[in-house]
Amino acid sequence: MRTQVAIIGAGPAGLLLGQLLHQAGVANVILERSSADYVLGRIRAGVLEQITVDLMEQCGVGQRMRQEGLAHDGIELLFKGERHRIDFAGLTGGKTVMVYGQTEVTRDLMAARAAAGLTTIYEVGDSVTLHGFDGTAPAVRYRKDGQEQELQCDFIAGCDGYHGASRASVPKGAVREYEKVYPFGWLGLLADVPPVFHELIYANTERGFALCSMRSPTRSRYYVQVPLEEKVENWSDEAFWNELRSRLDPAARDQLVTGPSIEKSIAPLRSFVAEPMRFGRLFLAGDAAHIVPPTGAKGLNLAASDVKYLSDAFIEHYRERSAAGLDHYSDRALRRVWKAERFSWWFTSLMHKFPGEGEIAQKLQEAELDYLVSSRAASTALAENYVGLPL
User: What amino acid positions are annotated as catalytic residues?
Assistant: 72, 202, 294, 298, 386
CA dihedral 191, 347, 307, 268 (to 10 degrees): -60
CB 27 within 8 Å of CB 20: no
Q: Where are the alpha helices (DSSP H) in 116-262?
A: 165-168, 237-246, 250-255
DSSP, residue by residue, 323-345? -HHHHHHHHHHHHHHHHHHHHHH
Q: How far apart are CA 325 and CA 322, in angstroms?
A: 7
Rg of the chain over Cα atoms, rounded to whole angstroms, equals: 21
C-beta of residue 134 within 8 angstroms of C-beta of residue 156: no
**Residues with Cβ < 8 Å from 276, sequence gap 6 or more?**
175, 330, 331, 334
d(CA 105, CA 113): 12
User: Which residues contact residue 242 at a Cβ distance below 8 angstroms, ignoring those fewer than 6 apart?
Assistant: none
